[in-house]
Amino acid sequence: MQYEITFAGFGGQGIMTAGKFLAQGAMNHGLEVAWVPSYGPEMRGGTAYCTVVISSKPVGSPVVKNPGIAVVMNRPSLDKFASQIKPDGILIINSSLIEATSEREDIFQVQVPCNKMSQEVLGIGRSANIAALGALLGVKEMIPKEEIEKVMETKFGKKPKILEDNLKIFRDAYELGKKQRKNA
C-alpha cells in the first residue's frame, strides 16, 4: 500500500502544516512516511507545496512525479498540479478561492469550501488547511481520522479553544468529504 499526496497553495495557507499533520498521523499509525517540502527560490506569496508519501514499507523514492492525490488551495496550484495526478486519482479543490475545476474526467474531483468552513467557526479563514485535511480523510480514509485528531490534540493541547474549533472544522469537513465518497 502506498499513497502520495501533494498539498499546494500559496505561502501562509498552512500547506506545510497540513502535510505534517497527515505525515505525523500516519507515522503514529505505524506506517512509513516521508514529508518532502518544496524548497528553492520562491516569491513571497508564490506557490508552496509539499508531498507526503505514506507506505506500508520503507519509502523508496521520495520524489513523486505523479501523486495519486492532490489538494489544491489556490488557482495557480490547480493549474499546476491537476494535470500531474495519476489516472483514477483524487483532486480536492478549495472552492472558496477556486471557482474552476479541472477538465480531466479520469480523476475524482471534490470541491470543498475550505476558507468558508474555517470562517464559520473561527471568523477567519486561518484553518482552511484543517478543513482541506478533514475533507481529504473523508474522501479517502488512508488512516483513521482519529489519528489526525490526536495529532491536533498534541499540537493545540495547550489552547483548548483553538483545539476545539479546529476539531470542529476538521470533523465537519470530514463529514462533507465522506458524503462525497458515498456519491462517488
Partner 1 sequence: MAKILMKGSEAIGEAAIKAGCLSYFAYPITPQSEIAEYLAKRLPKIGGTFLQAESEIAASQMVFGAAGTGVRVMTTSSSPGISLMSEAMSYIAGAELPAVFVNIVRGGPGLGGILPSQGDYFQATKGAGHGNFRFLVLAPANVQEFVDYMIKAFPLAEKYRNPVMLVGDGLIAQMMEPVDFDNVASTPQGDVESWATTGCKDRETNLINSLFLDPLKLEKFNDKLADKYNRMRDEEVVYEEYAMDDDPDVVMVAYGTTSRVVKTAIDEFRKEDKLKVGLIRPITLFPFPMDVLRNLSAKSHVKAFGVVEMSIGQMLEDVKWATLERKPVEFFSRKGGIVPNPDETKDFIKNIFKKIGA
Interface residues toward partner 1, by CB under 8 A: 20, 23-24, 27, 32-37, 39-41, 58-65
SS3 content of the chain, % helix, strand, coil (to 5): 45, 20, 35
- Separation of alpha carbons 156 and 150, rounded Å: 10
Provide, rounded to whole angstroms, the least separation between the CB of residue 32 and partner 1: 7
CB of 65 to partner 1, least distance (A): 4
Nearer to partner 1, 63 or 123 (CB): 63
Query: Rounded to the nearest whole angstrom, what is the least distance from the CB of residue 26 to partner 1 in the complex?
Result: 9
Q: Residue 12 or 60: which CB sits closer to partner 1?
A: 60
Write down the H helix ranges in 58-113.
75-81
CA separation for the pair 138, 110 (Å, rounded): 11
In this complex, which beta carbon is closest to partner 1, that of residue 29 or of residue 181?
Answer: 29
Q: In whole angstroms, how close is the CB of 40 to partner 1 at the nearest point?
A: 6
DSSP letter at 31? -
Distances (CA, A) of 150 to 10, 52, 90, 139: 26, 18, 25, 19
First to last CA, the chain: 21
Q: How far is the CB of 176 from partner 1 (least distance, A)?
A: 27
Instruction: Output 119 or 129, the one with its CB closest to partner 1.
Output: 129
Nearer residue to partner 1 within complex by CB, 10 or 35: 35
Contacts of 2 (CB under 8 A, 6+ apart): 53, 54, 55, 56, 57
